[in-house]
Structure 1
Amino acid sequence: MTDGRTGVGIGGWTFEPWRGTFYPQGLKQKDELAYAASRLTAIEINGTYYSSFKPESFRKWADAAPDGFVFTVKASRFCTNRRVLADGGESVQRFVNQGLSELGDKLGPILWQFMATKKFDADDFGAFLALLPKAVDGVPLRHALEVRHESFRDPAFIALAKAANAAIVYADHDEYPLIEADAADFAYARLMRSMEDEPAGYAPAALDDWAAKAQAWRKRGDAFVFFISGAKARNPAAAIALIERVAK
């Protein structure tokens, strides 16, 4: 079996403290994505959680990134922040059909993030997973689930995710449950503990550990690792440091 690829990056690419630190002084804002995509191997698009975009935006983003780069896309909150998930079919279709297919082979998994107050209900969650399409406009879709309530530590949840080939996000956070389960043929991690007093966000030994994890995940398929929140100003440096390690 051939190893999968590893996509490592950050959440979004527009953040003022990155200007003059990650981004060179004087770089035009319109050129920030192209610069970020030249240094990283993946970016999680977060703006799609809050609002929809036109197909032209996705096409422009794809054109700014080199071959082999991957964009994962955070699903709309209107799909996941609801009392009855099974009622979200129209929102799911609206989200998927806004232009994601314009990313083409640069489209990575869709991230479905659930609020920390959302509890596991097997019937409702199973019905929600059935709403997730396997492709849009001929472009295959993969799905990753980030759950934030302890009730999801349930074998029934893992079984549902496995049946749908949906990855359970490896969420490294002080307050959210860490559920380690090989539910899909790819892995998705969100690392949220970068520290301001570490130049690369994480201590070298911690980055070595994350690299080992990423390489292990890659043995069974693609692995996506994103540095999100924490000391956000340090996250690009953290991603670059991890990219260097997984390339060895």
Structure 2
Amino acid sequence: MAKKKIGTVRIGVGGWTYEPWRGTFYPDTLPQKRELEYAASQLTTIEINGTYYGSQKPESFRKWHDETPEDFVFSLKASRYSTNRRVLAEAGQSIERFFTSGVLELKDKLGPINWQFMATKQFDPADFEAFLKLLPKSVEGRTIRHVVEVRHESFRNPDFVALLRNYGVAAVVAGDSEFPQIADITAPFVYARIMGTEETHPLGYADKALDLWASRAKQWAAGETPKGLESVAPLKADGKPRDVFLYVISGHKLRNPAAARALIERVDGGAGGR
């Protein structure tokens, strides 16, 4: 009997430059210029946050590409100038500038683009659809995967979920946070950001919570629907394999790399490292 196909599960953190990680995640003797290389040897993906605040240089993307393993993937937060605006339909030029800023220098290591919205941004069906229409399906022949991170309760609306399914865009699954949870499957991949690490746990989460998130990641990858998450307009699980991107974000940031490592080990069946 053929083994069921499943998607690839990638787990990581937000960024790699954080001084308190020196001596806790990074070895004390590691030169700072080698932090990305080390982080990429321990994790399977990283969400780049700096692209949200401003453009990065093309040579930076090339450098990040060259310093990471062949199968490593970066997700990028898109420019805030595209999402932090009253009329989203007017974001076209900003979106175009983002994709011509050098992000394609990541080549095959370019993962999903996270379009993050402020918690005050409310759902306007017509304007949000206009925004989705502006998101390119491909740039210079490279397929682009999009995910939206919405943080206002008004987005917990079946019409919003229907729009995402129509355009093949994912919604961030917010875990262990104050933000509304929209765990509906709307795209060929799943993108989760879990924000509940605590100082009291050496691995950021208790073992039971780590086991739960690892199980959810594997279920998503197998095309199944994990229990215990809040959906708006759920569909029956289709069994189609999906790639999964799971980031340990916020919470007690010092513990985030340890939590990500613990999740990788659980998903890989106890195998440490890469």
Distance 2:69 2:208 in 1: 30
Q: In the alignment, what sits opposite 1:235?
A: 256
Q: In the alignment, what sits opposite 1:172?
A: 175
For structure 1, list consecutive stretches of 5 or more residues without a partner in the other structure.
Answer: none
Q: In the alignment, what sits opposite 1:66?
A: 69
Match of 1:225, as an amino acid?
L
Match of 1:126, as an amino acid?
E
1:47-196 paired onto structure 2 within 5 Å? 47-196=50-199
CA positional deviation for 1:169: 0.5
1:15-30 paired onto structure 2 within 5 Å? 15-30=18-33
Q: Cα 1:78–1:161, aligned 2, differ >3 Å: closer, same or farther?
A: same
Distance 2:95 2:25 in 1: 35
Match of 2:218, as an amino acid?
Q
Question: What's the C-alpha RMSD, in Å, of the aligned pairs?
Answer: 0.9
CA positional deviation for 1:2: 2.4
Q: In the alignment, what sits opposite 1:246?
A: 267
Structure 1 window deviating more from structure 2 (111-120 vs 133-142): it is: 133-142
Distance 1:137 1:54 in 2: 18
Match of 1:149, as an amino acid?
H
Distance 1:86 1:167 in 2: 19
Q: In the alignment, what sits opposite 2:225?
A: none
Q: In the alignment, what sits opposite 2:231?
A: none
CA positional deviation for 1:203: 0.4
SS in 1 for 2:198: coil
CA positional deviation for 1:29: 1.2
1:210-229 paired onto structure 2 within 5 Å? 210-219=213-222, 220-229=241-250
Q: Are the aligned partners of 1:48 and 1:75 in contact in 2 as well (CA < 8 Å)?
A: yes
Structure 1 window deviating more from structure 2 (129-138 vs 183-192): it is: 129-138
Deviations 1:173-214 (A, max 9, x none): 432101110101100000111001101100011000001100
Q: In the alignment, what sits opposite 1:204?
A: 207
SS in 2 for 1:160: helix
Q: Are the aligned partners of 1:9 and 1:41 in contact in 2 as well (CA < 8 Å)?
A: yes
CA positional deviation for 1:168: 0.7
For these two proteins, the number of residue pairs brought into alignment is 248
Task: State the percentage of identical aligned residues.
Answer: 60
Q: In the alignment, what sits opposite 1:44?
A: 47
Using structure 1 for the length normalisation, give the TM-score: 0.98
**Runs of 4+ residues over 3 Å off in structure 1:** none
CA positional deviation for 1:26: 2.3
Q: Are the aligned partners of 1:11 and 1:227 in contact in 2 as well (CA < 8 Å)?
A: yes
Match of 2:182, as an amino acid?
I
SS in 1 for 2:245: strand
